[in-house]
Structures are given as C-alpha cells and as structure tokens.
C-alpha cells in the first residue's frame, strides 16, 4: 500500500478489481472522494443522530471502538468520525476517560483503501488531527477491512458506536427484470416486488443481527435507509434509448443492472419490530430531500457497476474500450438536457441501542 509512513493504519486485504469481487453484486465506487459531495450533503442532514448517540454510549473504560460500514474511499467517513469527536468533546465523561480510539473503516474488497489513507494523511480533514485527539493525546488505531458487511466483521461485544450512511439501499443480491437498470415497486409487478421485498427485508434483518453481535451492551448504531427515489424515471428510459440507437434490444442485456432497492417504511418497521427485544429505538425519523447530481457523481456510482455487467456479454463488448464507449453513450443520454440531474429522495434516519 502507499503512504507507508502511517504504520498505525492497517489494511486487512489488498484491493481487487470490481470484476473479481464476488462477495456482492454491488461494486465499489470510482474516484468517489472527488465526487462525493452529494452524499456528504445527505450525511450532514443526519448529524443529529450523532448528537443523540453520544450521551447513550456504553460506560467507557478508556478505549472507544467505532466502525463505519460502507466507508468508500474515506472522505465522508472521516467527516463522520470528526463529528463524533466534536460531540464527544461536549461530554465530560468522554473527555475525562478516553485514552484510546480504534476506528474500523469497512467496505467491499474492491474498495480503494489507498484513497482512505490519503485522507488520513491530509492534515486539513484527518481526524488524527482533531483537537480532542491532540489535547488528550489519544492513541488512535485505524483498521481498514475489505469485506462485505453481511458477514460478521468484528468480535462479539466489542463495538461502542457504529455508522452506516447512504449504503443500505445497495443490495448484495439482485435479479434481472424487464424494466431496465433498476427495479422500483412503482412498476406494480407483484412477483418481482414480492421477491425484492423479501430479499431486502432478509438482508436488513441479517445486517442488524450481525451488528447486534458486534455491539457492546448499550452500544449504539446510527444509519439511514433510502425509502424513495425517482431515479428509475431517468435511469431506465436513458438506458433503453442507448440500445435503441444501436438497434439492440435492452432486454437481451438484462444481466446489467444497478442493484439498488428502496425499502418501504413499512418494511423497515416490520424488521425493527421483529428485533424489539434486541434493540431500543433511540430515534427514527423520515426526511425528503431533492438531490442535485452532477455527471461526475453519477459516474462514480454507476461506472464500475455497468462495466462489470457489460463484461457478461463479450460477444458484443469485446474490449475494455467498447464497454467504456457504451457507458459514455449512456451517460451522454442521461445528461443530454442538463449537466445536473435533480432527483427526489426520501430517507429514514435511525438510531438504535443494543439492549
């Protein structure tokens, strides 16, 4: 890995290609640190979750263990940890007690953890330079883990605080549909909606069950879940038009997809109700927001996903250049009317405490 001077930062796996990453059908982002301002805007809307979490953290014994699930290339993940430290500065019991901090940054094996290292080196954004860390001489250890978060990552009863922001709508499993790149329940396809609902409920329950195992008693987890997006309104028509211009049928390329699914609020409630003996709900709220997506932001999210999908059709896309050309034609179709796509979205923001 680069940046060898950061000896206290350990990366537990070598970054692999999105084409070789088989733990999830979702693929990691491309150049995300340069194109993550939209997600940062979402995260900033959820800072109240951190303020709710800190006073409810378990009794501190001098060492705090924090994990961010879905850290991507690190810039926004580091922002979240900085805000956690900001809140901790306001809490006398943490200023007094903490002397060691371990931060786990977790994402898929094809994630660029070198990008995260670069952020940690940057004195302008790194939490290693946070006032609380410096003034209390806190010993900070950073662990980067390339693994799906649908496996257990950390030891039982070891985590004080966990985060997962703007990640849980990406599914580890998906199925082809006749509707284009992304499925939405608005298509009113009963059998497909039933399949996606069962699948997404099952993985959310599994994810929370794993986090329950990892959290200490009274440990806290903060996350958001996208419950609505109108993205299929502009993704799918553009995708179909690209094939039409090439006199191809998009249905013949159904193995290419964006594996996102918006869980309904009732689905989230159903999963949480089934876990009421394991978690206390400290906060749960809904919020709608209009996001402005630039071309670079779309590319960071879609590029690897579509390139991997097109690789399943070597008879049509024989070279890397041919796949890239097709992706850029799709991107041009998306942005033919404007350099910004305005999209309406809704999120559930949740803070849970392990009982």
Domains and CATH numbers, the chain: 9-229+259-292+345-354 (3.40.50.150)
How far is it, in rounded angstroms, from Cα 37 to Cα 280?
32
> Model pTM greater than 0.85?
yes
Residue 46 DSSP SS3: coil
What pLDDT is stored for residue 14 in this prediction?
57
Q: Where are the alpha helices (DSSP H) in the chain?
A: 37-44, 47-53, 75-89, 92-97, 113-121, 131-135, 190-214, 232-245, 265-274, 295-310, 320-334
What pLDDT is stored for residue 5 in this prediction?
47
What pLDDT is stored for residue 78 in this prediction?
92
DSSP label at 176? -
Instruction: Assess contact for 310 and 197: CB atoms under 8 A.
Output: no
Instruction: Walk along the chain (355 residues) and give the pLDDT tens digit of each residue.
Output: 333 345 556 656 556 566 667 777 877 777 766 767 888 889 899 999 999 999 999 988 889 999 999 988 778 899 999 999 999 988 766 667 788 999 999 998 888 888 888 888 898 999 999 999 998 899 999 999 999 999 999 999 999 999 999 999 999 999 999 999 999 999 999 999 999 999 999 999 999 999 999 999 999 999 999 999 999 999 999 999 999 999 999 999 999 999 999 999 999 999 999 999 999 999 999 999 999 999 999 998 999 999 999 999 999 999 999 999 999 999 999 999 999 999 999 999 999 999 9
What pLDDT is stored for residue 150 in this prediction?
95
The strands making up 279-294's β-sheet, listed across from edge to edge, are 9-11, 139-146, 100-107, 63-69, 159-164, 215-229, 340-354, 279-294
What pLDDT is stored for residue 94 in this prediction?
66
Identify any residues that bridge with 314 across adjacent strands, giving them in sequence order: none
Q: Strand pairing of 279-294 and 139-146?
A: unpaired
């Amino acid at each position: 890995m680069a940046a060898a001077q950061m000896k206290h930062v350990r990366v537990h796996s070598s970054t692999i290609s999105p084409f070789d990453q088989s733990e999830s059908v979702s693929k990691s982002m491309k150049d995300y640190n340069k194109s993550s301002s939209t997600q940062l805007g979402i995260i900033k809307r959820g800072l109240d979750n951190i303020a709710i979490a800190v006073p409810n953290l378990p009794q501190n014994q001098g060492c705090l263990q924090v994990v961010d699930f879905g850290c991507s290339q690190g810039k926004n993940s580091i922002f979240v940890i900085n805000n956690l430290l900001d809140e901790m500065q306001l809490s006398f019991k943490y200023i007094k007690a903490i002397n060691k901090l371990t931060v786990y940054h977790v994402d898929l094996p094809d994630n660029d953890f070198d990008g995260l290292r670069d952020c940690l080196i940057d004195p302008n954004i790194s939490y290693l330079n946070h006032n609380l860390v410096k003034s209390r001489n806190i010993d900070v250890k950073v662990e980067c883990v390339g693994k799906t978060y649908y496996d257990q990552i950390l030891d039982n009863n070891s985590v004080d605080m966990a985060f997962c922001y703007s990640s849980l709508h990406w599914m580890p499993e998906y199925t082809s549909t006749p509707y284009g790149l992304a499925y939405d329940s608005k298509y009113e396809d009963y059998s497909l909606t039933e399949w996606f609902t069962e699948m997404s409920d099952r993985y959310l329950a599994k994810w929370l069950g794993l986090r329950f195992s990892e959290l200490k008693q009274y440990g806290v987890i903060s996350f958001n879940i996208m419950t609505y997006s109108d993205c299929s309104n502009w993704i799918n028509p553009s995708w179909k038009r690209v094939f039409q211009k090439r006199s191809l049928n998009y249905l013949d390329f159904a193995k290419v997809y964006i594996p996102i699914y918006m869980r309904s609020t009732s689905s989230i409630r159903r999963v949480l109700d089934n876990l009421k003996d394991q978690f206390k709900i400290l906060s749960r709220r809904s919020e709608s927001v209009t996001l402005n997506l630039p071309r670079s932001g779309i590319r960071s999210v879609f590029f690897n996903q579509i390139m991997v999908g097109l690789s399943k059709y070597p008879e049509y896309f024989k070279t890397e250049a041919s796949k890239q050309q097709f992706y850029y034609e799709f991107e041009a179709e998306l942005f033919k009317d404007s350099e910004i796509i305005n999209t309406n979205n809704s999120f559930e923001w949740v803070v849970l405490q392990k009982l």
